[in-house]
């Protein structure tokens, strides 16, 4: 038992402290909606900045960084995003800080930009930009909830989207971001909770829903940590898809559609690290259209490695398209689907190619 617990916490700290995907001390508890607890628009927050690392042009050679200062909207971000394209926001794990202009993460975002034809922004929101370990790390992660930094980041992201939309509505003669159906929001681990809260705030403010909320193995909270009120639930977007890959993440079905991924880890540490990280790699593979994944009800699902710009296969009645390009199908609401990577790991890794590399989490 002691060996099990040791590996459990080692894997956790490797995930969050060193910049790999998020860990279990993140959220996902139940409770009333945050707007009934306090008015987020009256909330004042002072702390480390939030950074938006964006791709908005085909010939871009590195991330453009936009940083909030003193809780304010990042300067020039809405102008950069008001370029006629739709928008994809991605919140990564709570320990990741994007500060590296080039590299694997930028390459992924650039491919996602090209395939989706959306502007792409990766959001860094850690409680502190200083590296923390052990009890200090746990304390900082807990403060993401107790200081309501989670809500602050979600409000800031909401205001960015609304700022771009407002600029568009002021110029009716051109193509731009007019409706929240042109927005999708995704998040990995703790970032899935920030993504869900962002979608909630957008709907509360406008009465509109974003096209999709994609929650990638959303982290769950142990009993001794403060839990945020419910962040991911049906109705926060037109389509809420949740991908479950590990015991580090929430195991209960909480979306319109829930996909459970089967994968056999080779060691105990991989059970926590690799299986949790798998959700992010699935997003990388599917958002770039390097791989098409179909979840299957009571089956193993289908993996199709396809060339770029190819059309997605049409799901059958017992299937569902996995990932950010999935669409709401009324017949699939409330259903659970399975994707098995057993005996398919090589195909999955080959589709990722250079992105199957842990350094994609460490570039900072």
Strands 257-262 and 302-305, bridge-based pairing: unpaired
Which of 52-56, 272-276, 359-363 shows the lowest mean pLDDT across its residues?
272-276
CA torsion sign for 233, 225, 69, 61 is negative
Tally of CB atoms within 10 A around 223? 6
**pLDDT value, residue 134:** 62
Q: What is the mean pLDDT of residues 254-263?
A: 95
Whose CA is closest to 58, among 89, 83, 92?
83
Query: What is the pTM for the complete model shown?
Result: 0.88
Q: By the 8 A CB rule, do 90 and 187 touch?
A: yes
Compute the distance between CA of residue 138 and CA of residue 17 in angstroms, rounded to an integer. Answer: 10
Give backbone dihedrals phi and psi of 290, rounded to 5 degrees, phi first.
Answer: -70, -25
How many Cβ atoms from other residues are within 10 Å of residue 358's Cβ?
15
CATH of domain 2-361: 3.40.50.1820
Q: Report residue 22 as tokens.
A: 């998020």
pLDDT for res 267: 59
Q: Which pLDDT does position 4 carry in this prediction?
A: 31
Q: What is the pLDDT of residues 20-41, one digit of tens each?
A: 333 322 333 333 344 456 788 8
């Amino acid at each position: 038992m002691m060996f099990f617990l040791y590996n459990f916490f080692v894997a956790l700290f490797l995930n969050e402290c060193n910049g790999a995907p998020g860990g279990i001390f993140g959220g996902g508890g139940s409770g009333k909606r945050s707007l009934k607890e306090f008015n987020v628009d009256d909330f004042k927050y002072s702390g480390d900045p939030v950074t938006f690392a964006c791709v908005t042009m085909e010939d871009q050679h590195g991330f453009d960084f936009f940083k909030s200062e003193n809780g304010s909207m990042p300067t020039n971000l809405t102008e950069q995003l008001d370029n006629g394209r739709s928008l994809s926001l991605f919140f990564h794990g709570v320990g990741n800080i994007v500060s590296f202009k080039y590299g694997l993460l930028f390459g992924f975002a650039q491919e996602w930009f090209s395939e989706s034809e959306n502007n792409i922004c990766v959001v860094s929101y850690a409680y502190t930009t200083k590296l923390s370990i052990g009890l200090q790390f746990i304390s900082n992660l807990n403060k993401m909830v107790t200081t309501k930094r989670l809500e602050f980041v979600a409000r800031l992201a909401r205001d960015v989207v609304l700022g771009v939309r407002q600029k568009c509505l002021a110029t009716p003669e051109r193509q731009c971001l007019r409706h929240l159906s042109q927005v999708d929001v995704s998040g990995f681990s703790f970032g899935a909770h920030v993504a869900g809260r962002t979608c909630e705030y957008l709907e509360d403010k406008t009465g509109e829903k974003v096209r999709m909320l994609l929650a990638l193995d959303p982290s769950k909270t142990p009993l001794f940590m403060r839990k945020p009120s419910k962040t991911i639930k049906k109705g926060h977007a037109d389509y809420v898809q949740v991908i479950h890959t590990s015991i580090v993440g929430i195991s209960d079905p909480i979306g319109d559609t829930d996909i459970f991924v089967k994968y056999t880890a080779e060691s105990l540490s991989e059970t926590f690290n690799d299986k949790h990280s798998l959700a992010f790699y699935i997003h990388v593979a599917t958002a770039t259209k390097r791989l098409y994944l179909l979840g299957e009800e009571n089956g193993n699902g289908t993996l199709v490695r396809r060339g770029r710009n190819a059309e997605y296969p049409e799901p059958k009645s017992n299937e569902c398209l996995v990932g950010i390009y999935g669409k709401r199908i009324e017949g699939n609401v409330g259903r659970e689907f399975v994707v098995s990577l057993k005996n398919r790991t090589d195909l999955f890794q080959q589709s990722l190619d250079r992105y199957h590399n842990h350094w994609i989490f460490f570039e900072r």
